[in-house]
Structure 1
Amino acid sequence: MTQHKTHFEQLARANQAVTDTKHEQKEASYRLHYHFMAPTGWLNDPNGLIQHNGVYHLFYQFNPYSYHWGAMHWGHATSRDLVNWKHEPVALAPSEPYEYDETKSEMGCFSGSAVMNGDVMMLFYTGHLEGHDPKEVQAIATSTDGIHFTKHAANPVINGSPEGLSDEFRDPKVWKHGELWYMVVGTAVGHDGAVALYKSSNLIDWEYVGIAAKSDGTQGDMWECPDLFPLGDKYVLMTSPMNTDRGKSTVMVGSMDYDKGVFIPESQHEIDYGIDFYAAQTFEDEKGRRILFAWMDFPFTEFPSKTDKWSGAMTIPRELTLGKDGYVRSQPVPELTALRDNHMHDDKLVLSEDETHPLHADYPFQHSYELKCKWVLPENKADGKVGLHLRQSKDGSEQTTVFYDLATNEVIVDTTHAGKLSHKAVNKAGLLHKNDEVTFHIFVDTCSVEVFVNDGEATLSTRIYPDLASNDITLYTEGTGATAEYIDIWELKNAEMS
């Protein structure tokens, strides 16, 4: 049986599984209204993000046979506006000796990226097979229509990790600089996370350059999902470090020395401080914007949606920019305003110390909305808290609290009381500067909250699973008075997921 016949048979089997089970999601209680989800089964990392001829392509890690992590395929969807999506046939299925063994649970076509080589779309991915030697290799699949993909005859194009590097060796991200193509692969040197750098003139034959960057000993023992890209007049290295307390999606801002093959970091912070944000990937679209998606979940946490036989969702798409202070900022793409529907606006709501103010007594917003507000704080006030209770029950026993703590200069998303199925967490993001104003831009969906602070200075993303009737919204102050300079709430329409 030929390689291609095997792959196409596996694709047909996967696509039939989607057809047979997607109807089960019609009545699922926590399906999101405007976030991207797989039609059925399990979803994790975004892969192969690219735009070509006006069409956005979102590939993703996908198990069409189960709502648990397992044999990894590449799911696929397309869009013309980053809001409404069309599910396409499964793009990649495990089929080759270095990625498929029906007796193994840890196998498949793991994460990677996409580039256009003329009119040919090329997917770069990791073939993973636990117990195989090597465990992880890098491979290619190509397409002339952007829908149907054939695995390359030269696979694997990188047959295992270089000497001295870990056999944890995955998630290739490819880009072009000058006349050459470059690839970074996530790996480790000893117990330190690292990224390996390769270069190629033809996208098939790859030369190992060396280690482009490595942990300083405190940044995790393996760097998954590396992404190295220019932003403004700098380069940014984004990774998802494993086994560290310092964060889950780290961005380092610095410079790239292509002659030496090294990235020189100058600063570091988290691209998102929420507990449910991992495996972020970016791409440059045809408008020149640097767009990011991430998996809006985190490994090893509970997935209450498994009760309804599905798991995983993407964040809303975000545009990254580099501030004059050298800090990477993240904001929702403006295309999302197309979802806005019923609108409520208030000006200058003055709250005294320890006061609460319900926001939607006249219009009951449900659980999918966008909220913007600006707090003006007393001058030189040293402590106190100002914020909102979201997805609040009538008796106040359930709520997700988003607030600014003046004493610590942090924005906090507290899900301690977000519902019995919710992960109990206190997510914190320290702000760069303390001043007398703070703005929130918040997206709430059936089981998610994404908070953007001060025009993207900090973001926090988390999944919540409150009772679907818990929909109250309340402003509050604690230990200080403050003024809500403005507040806008838009009910959001459902995005199309056909």
Structure 2
Amino acid sequence: MTKLLMNEKIAKAQKEIDDKKKYVENGKMRQHYHLMPQCGWMNDPNGLIYFKGQYHVFYQTNPYSGFWDSMHWGHAVSKDLLHWEYLPLALAPSEVYDDFQKGGCFSGSAIEHDGKMYLFYTGTANHGHGNVQTQCLAISEDGIHFEKYTGNPLITVPEGIEPDSFRDPKVWKHEEKYYMVIGGSRNHRGLALIFESEDLYHWNYLNVLSESRGEWGFMWECPDFYPLGDKYVLTFSPMGSGDHTSAYLVGDFDYETGRFDSHVSGEMDWGFDYYAPQSIVTPDGRRLVISWANEWEWMPLFKDWGPTYQEGWCGFFNLIREVKLGNDGTLQFVPIEEMKNIREDGFCQEEMLITEDPKQLKAGDGISFEMKFVFDLKKTDADSIEMKFRCGDGKETCCIFDLKNGELSVDRQNSDGWSTGVSRSVLLVNDKSELDVHIFSDQSSLEIFTDQYRNNHSNNIFAGDQQNQLSISAHGGKAVIRNYESYKLKDCFRKE
């Protein structure tokens, strides 16, 4: 009965997608190389796994509207991390523990076991006494069709943890045991809990893996935990922590006690739109992260969800990034090498002098492009350098490298008539001979990487095709750019 009911729910939702996708794919704000839903709402990436020769990405989705509501799991696969094929929905709310209009099948992860794919997710329900979240399992032989485990839920809310703040299981294997980290809230402070199992079905609480002492918000969403080099990394999205969208901690971990001792903390991204990152290991051993290009704090809940909502969809993923551990313990988040495979219309210039007079820049069509260069700081004496993107019709997005005051800012106040805010981060250039910059623009997003990919800003901007001009200028002196290169980026969703 369980399988039959979920299949009915999936069939109904799939019909909704099939009826709307042709209309939605013609939307003016649709991305060219960022994964997005065929229609309806998308948020957190889930269940990232390499299974039977291809990458699987699942995602939170409401297929009925471009607005958050009862959560299903969407599903897409790829062989190259660039071109994606949409598969039928994997999960739909159908059981007493996950069938609730303002709940459903919340975020989780995937693991392979005995040739099968195991999806772990949070079931959210409400039986009249508030939302209750539990951890559940669904299994597939082929990685496409899933059946919920009849023994669900596997894990219920531990004592002392808020029942509506216990979610997003991430599972991995170490030696002969399986481990699961889950986000939670206790005494209005965020934390990550760790559980262990010998068979993936029976789980024992091990310990509090790590917790906020007041500095990291009241709830840790979408925690992820993995080894990197000789250290361990914990990432999470802290709720109620202001402009912090996705944090990382680096330190040491003891499997015997289940405790994580962090020594380094940092921001994965300083922009407004980088949330719920989840990692995957590639066949060649790279640790990649995928995240949702949005964030709850600034979104005008229950009001206007922006230009894409008007087109029948909302949400997409950020550029996929490789996580690397620096010598000082900080992390780098480097755009994947595969992005080079969609470059065309390349342009290079060895050196460029920047003055107060705005200089027009060439980068593909000015909409979907990649740009890469370094500022030669030995030859630069400007107080600040201003770059303007997606200019046209009186609109622009402004990025300022403030060398005098040590700040990088991205201003989208005048980007599109809807977006607001200025993202800021510290920019240290003392004793450096150069400052590296790497930029990716798509129809509705701008992602800026600098300082060896440790200082990143991801912001959504909903700019039209007529906004395709780019310029750069220096203030209080001159600036010199070296090794400038730019490319147009192909559309990964257009049928050739």
TM-score, normalisation: structure 2: 0.95
Aligned pair in 2 of structure 1 residues 457, 156: CA closer, same or farther (>3 Å)? same
Aligned pair in 2 of structure 1 residues 236, 332: CA closer, same or farther (>3 Å)? same
| DSSP-derived class of the 2:235 partner | strand
Aligned pair in 2 of structure 1 residues 337, 41: CA closer, same or farther (>3 Å)? same
| Alpha-carbon distance, 1:58 to partner | 0.5
Aligned partners of 1:145, 1:26: CA distance in 2, in Å?
Answer: 28
Counterpart of 1:369, as a letter, is F
Aligned partners of 2:233, 2:405: CA distance in 1, in Å?
Answer: 28
| Alpha-carbon distance, 1:391 to partner | 0.5
| Alpha-carbon distance, 1:403 to partner | 2.8
Residue aligning to 1:162: 158
Residue aligning to 2:119: 123
How far does the alpha carbon of each residue in 1:151-170 deviate from its partner, in whole angstroms, 9 at most, with x for none? 11111111x21111111100
| DSSP-derived class of the 1:337 partner | helix
Residue aligning to 1:90: 89
Counterpart of 1:335, as a letter, is E
| Alpha-carbon distance, 1:466 to partner | 2.5
| DSSP-derived class of the 2:29 partner | coil
Aligned partners of 2:80, 2:27: CA distance in 1, in Å?
Answer: 26
Counterpart of 1:493, as a letter, is K
Matches within 5 A, 1:84-483: 84-101=83-100, 105-131=101-127, 135-158=132-155, 160-167=156-163, 168-245=165-242, 247-299=244-296, 300-301=299-300, 302-352=305-355, 354-360=356-362, 365-378=365-378, 381=381, 384-393=383-392, 397-421=394-418, 423-431=419-427, 434=430, 435-483=432-480
Gaps of 5+ in 2: none
Aligned partners of 2:63, 2:12: CA distance in 1, in Å?
Answer: 9
Aligned partners of 1:254, 1:244: CA distance in 2, in Å?
Answer: 22
Aligned partners of 1:424, 1:9: CA distance in 2, in Å?
Answer: 41
How far does the alpha carbon of each residue in 1:40-91 deviate from its partner, in whole angstroms, 9 at most, with x for none? 1100000000112330000000111111100100000000000000000000
Counterpart of 2:78, as a letter, is S
| Alpha-carbon distance, 1:378 to partner | 4.5
Aligned pair in 2 of structure 1 residues 344, 117: CA closer, same or farther (>3 Å)? same
Aligned partners of 1:426, 1:436: CA distance in 2, in Å?
Answer: 28
Counterpart of 1:308, as a letter, is E
Counterpart of 2:426, as a letter, is G
| Alpha-carbon distance, 1:431 to partner | 3.8
Residue aligning to 1:27: 26
Contact 1:415/1:425 (8 A) holds in 2: yes
Residue aligning to 2:54: 55
- CA RMSD across the alignment: 1.7
The percentage of counterpart residues that share the same residue type is 36
How far does the alpha carbon of each residue in 1:323-366 deviate from its partner, in whole angstroms, 9 at most, with x for none? 111111001101111111111222211123x2321123xx8724
Contact 1:42/1:67 (8 A) holds in 2: yes
Q: More deviation in 82-91 or 26-35?
A: 26-35
Contact 2:358/2:471 (8 A) holds in 1: yes
Counterpart of 1:374, as a letter, is V
Counterpart of 1:372, as a letter, is K
How far does the alpha carbon of each residue in 1:277-318 deviate from its partner, in whole angstroms, 9 at most, with x for none? 111111111111111110001122443211111100001111
Aligned pair in 2 of structure 1 residues 38, 221: CA closer, same or farther (>3 Å)? same
Aligned partners of 2:122, 2:477: CA distance in 1, in Å?
Answer: 53
| Alpha-carbon distance, 1:496 to partner | 3.2
| Alpha-carbon distance, 1:20 to partner | 1.1
Counterpart of 1:357, as a letter, is K
Aligned pair in 2 of structure 1 residues 475, 432: CA closer, same or farther (>3 Å)? closer
How far does the alpha carbon of each residue in 1:168-203 deviate from its partner, in whole angstroms, 9 at most, with x for none? 100000011111100011101111101111000000
Aligned partners of 2:211, 2:6: CA distance in 1, in Å?
Answer: 36
Residue aligning to 2:3: 4
Contact 2:364/2:487 (8 A) holds in 1: no
Aligned pair in 2 of structure 1 residues 316, 246: CA closer, same or farther (>3 Å)? closer
| DSSP-derived class of the 2:96 partner | coil
- Count, aligned residues: 486
Aligned partners of 2:405, 2:249: CA distance in 1, in Å?
Answer: 24
| Alpha-carbon distance, 1:408 to partner | 2.9
Aligned partners of 2:406, 2:9: CA distance in 1, in Å?
Answer: 53
Counterpart of 1:86, as a letter, is E
How far does the alpha carbon of each residue in 1:436-486 deviate from its partner, in whole angstroms, 9 at most, with x for none? 421211110111001111331221100002232011111211122110112
Counterpart of 1:54, as a letter, is G
Contact 2:403/2:427 (8 A) holds in 1: no
Contact 2:274/2:293 (8 A) holds in 1: yes
Aligned partners of 2:121, 2:261: CA distance in 1, in Å?
Answer: 26
Counterpart of 2:58, as a letter, is F
Contact 1:54/1:286 (8 A) holds in 2: no
| Alpha-carbon distance, 1:98 to partner | 1.1
How far does the alpha carbon of each residue in 1:112-149 deviate from its partner, in whole angstroms, 9 at most, with x for none? 00001120100000001244667101000011111111
Aligned partners of 2:465, 2:127: CA distance in 1, in Å?
Answer: 44
How far does the alpha carbon of each residue in 1:408-449 deviate from its partner, in whole angstroms, 9 at most, with x for none? 32322221221212x222112224653242121111011100
Residue aligning to 1:15: 14
Moved over 6 A (4+): none
| Alpha-carbon distance, 1:487 to partner | 1.5
Aligned partners of 1:214, 1:132: CA distance in 2, in Å?
Answer: 30
Aligned partners of 2:252, 2:405: CA distance in 1, in Å?
Answer: 32
| DSSP-derived class of the 1:20 partner | helix
Contact 2:443/2:464 (8 A) holds in 1: no
Contact 1:377/1:481 (8 A) holds in 2: no
| DSSP-derived class of the 1:22 partner | helix
Contact 2:378/2:434 (8 A) holds in 1: no
| DSSP-derived class of the 1:90 partner | strand
TM-score, normalisation: structure 1: 0.94
